[in-house]
Structure 1
Amino acid sequence: MSGKSKYPEQFRKDAVALARSSDRPLRQVARELGVNHETLRNWVRTAEQAQAAPPAGGVSPEERQELRALRKRVAELELEKDILRKAAAYFAQEMGR
């Protein structure tokens, strides 16, 4: 659902969700939304294709962002673990004296 459109992206997503969840005919849903039924049909088709096809590179932008955040968190945790290991060794040495 990309490209130049007079309809905002969120409106198109909501319209597709409504069309999928409604038991009313697509034509009726489109009429109620004030959209041409072929336009709505195209939005639904595009959404279905996007959902069925894996994202380019295998990772969506949301997943890529989450992956960056997780890698950052892993680096922080590894640093904390190293600090704690050194502190434990230090205190073990101090207790042994």
Structure 2
Amino acid sequence: MPAPRKYPDELRERVIREVRSTGRPIAHVAKDLGVHKEDLLGWVRQAEADRGERDDWLTSAEQDELRQLREVNAELRRANEILRAASVSFAQEIDRPRTRSSR
């Protein structure tokens, strides 16, 4: 579960619109609206990536897909470890010498 967001989505959208429409420096807009400039810079870059204006950032959809794939990959690795341990156990069971019961 992702961490709660410090700033509401509406504020993010408003600040991004302000930067894009006015062309003012990010640091000035961030200071005026009480947002940390590094946060604002990340939001602007992400918005640009989502609009296809940046090739050096993943879109939000790509980030979600990557997060899901990493979770699936981790689960598959855990499952493989369990299966590997079980196969070792079964192999040891098969390799044990059998003793005959006396009847």
* Structure of larger gyration radius: 2
Q: Whose RCO is larger (CA < 8 A, sep 6+)?
A: 1
Under a length normalisation based on structure 1, what TM-score does the superposition of the two structures give? 0.49
